[in-house]
Structure 1
Amino acid sequence: MTARDDLPADLHDRAFTFVAARQAGVSVSRLRAHDLERWSRGIYGPAGRDVTLRERAEVHLAATADAWVSHRTAAALQDLFLPPWVDDHAQIHLSKPTHLPRARRKGVAGHRVRIRPGELHHVDGLLMTTPARTWLDLAVELGEEFRIALGDQLIRRPRSGLEKGREKPLATTSELRELLDAHVWMKGVGLARAALEHMRVGADSVPESLLRQAIAAAGLPEPELQISLVPLDPYSPSGDMGYPRIKLVIQYEGAHHDDEAQRLRDARRDRAFRDAGWTVLLVRLEDLRDGFRAVIREIRGHLAAAAA
Structure 2
Amino acid sequence: MEFVEGMWISTRARTWLDMARLLPLEDMVAMADHLVRLPRPELEGREDAYSTVEELRGMIARHPNLQGVVRARQALELVRVGSDSAPETFLRLAMLDAGLPTPELQLPLRPGDPRSPSADLGFRQRRTAIQYDGGHHLLEAQRLSDRRRDKAFEAAGWTVIVVDKTDQKDGFAAAIKKIKRAMRNPVADASVTSGFAKEG
Q: TM-score under structure 1 normalisation?
A: 0.58
Where 2:42 maps in the other structure, the secondary structure is: coil
Deviations 1:219-271 (A, max 9, x none): 11111111001101111111100111111100001001111111111111111
Q: Say yes or no: does 1:268 pair with 2:162.
A: no
Return the letter of the residue paired with 1:293: A
> Secondary structure of the equivalent of 1:251?
strand
Q: How far is the alpha carbon of 1:127 from its aligned partner?
A: 3.8
Counterpart-to-counterpart distance in 1, 2:56 and 2:38 = 15
Higher relative contact order (CA 8 A, sep 6+): 2
CA distance in 2, matches of 1:125, 1:275: 56
- Pairing partner for 1:228 from 105, 108, 130: 108
- Does the alignment pair 1:162 with 2:69? no
Taking the aligned partners of 1:131 and 1:125, their CA distance within structure 2 comes to: 18
CA RMSD, 1 decimal: 1.6
Distance 1:137 1:120 in 2: 16
Q: Which residue of 1 aligns with 2:131?
A: 251
Would you say how many aligned residue pairs link Structure 1 and Structure 2?
Answer: 187
Greater radius of gyration (CA): 1
Identity rate of aligned residues, in percent?
Answer: 48
Larger fraction in helix = 2
Paired residue type of 2:155: D
Where does 1:261-300 land on structure 2 (aligned, <5 Å)?
A: 261-300=141-180
User: Could you list the runs of 5+ residues in structure 2 that have no partner in the other structure?
Assistant: 188-200
- Matches of 2:136 and 2:38 in 1, distance apart? 19
Deviations 1:30-57 (A, max 9, x none): xxxxxxxxxxxxxxxxxxxxxxxxxxxx
2 CA distance for matches of 1:131 and 1:306?
A: 45
Gaps of 5+ in 1: 1-118
What's the CA shift for 1:126? 5.4
1:120 corresponds to which residue?
Answer: 2
- AA at the equivalent of 1:281: I
Q: For 2:15, which of 108, 129, 134 is the aligned residue?
A: 134
